[in-house]
Amino acid sequence: MQVIEQLKAMKDERFLAIYEQLSQDGFGPLDGEVAKVLKFRPQAIKKLPIQKRAKTAQSLLVRGNNAELCYELFGTYLMTNAKELVTDFLDGTGVEHEDGMVQNIEDHKPAGDKVAATVAELDKKFDSGDVTLYLAMAAEQWPSVPEVDSIWRMRG
């Protein structure tokens, strides 16, 4: 579960920045889950500072080992804020996709021999934290391509 490992290694400030960027109308992306845990009504959760909500959300993901929700959160962040990073990785490694979305993950895998060069190019164009975050997701998505997991682990 690379995305959970990435989350555990992530600084609180980084998670807060992701959480804030995904907030809409004063609600964080996981505020519904946070409200349940804290026994708040959904509307009342906005009374808590976003920092506390983000910290609680991060804790929920880690404690619950919820890789699926974590993957969804990080994927939404990247597709919203760094879509070109995703499409450049897919294009650079030969993965067929439609605007960053891969239809059949099992049939469309990154070419292992293209991963290192593609990541080197991504590092020139994009925030290294975003590249590492995407690599954690890609490593989880394509466990049969060890080059992706290997390069992600080297960055940690």
Predicted confidence at residue 1, as pLDDT, reads 84
Which amino acid, one-letter code, is at 132?
Answer: T
Predicted confidence at residue 146, as pLDDT, reads 98
- Taking the chain (156 residues) in runs of 10, the rounded mean pLDDT of each run is 95 96 93 93 91 95 93 96 97 96 93 98 97 97 97 92
* Residue keyed to tokens 């466990």: 143
For residue 88, how many C-alpha atoms fall within 13 Å in the half-sphere facing its CB? 19
Predicted confidence at residue 156, as pLDDT, reads 75
Predicted confidence at residue 42, as pLDDT, reads 84
Closest listed residue to residue 98, CA positions, set 87, 82, 84, 109: 87
Domain residue spans of the chain: 2-69, 82-155
Predicted confidence at residue 20, as pLDDT, reads 95
Which stretches does DSSP call E strand in 15-81? Answer: none
The pTM of this model reads 0.92
Q: How large is the angle between the packed helices 50-63 and 67-81, nearest 10 degrees?
A: 130
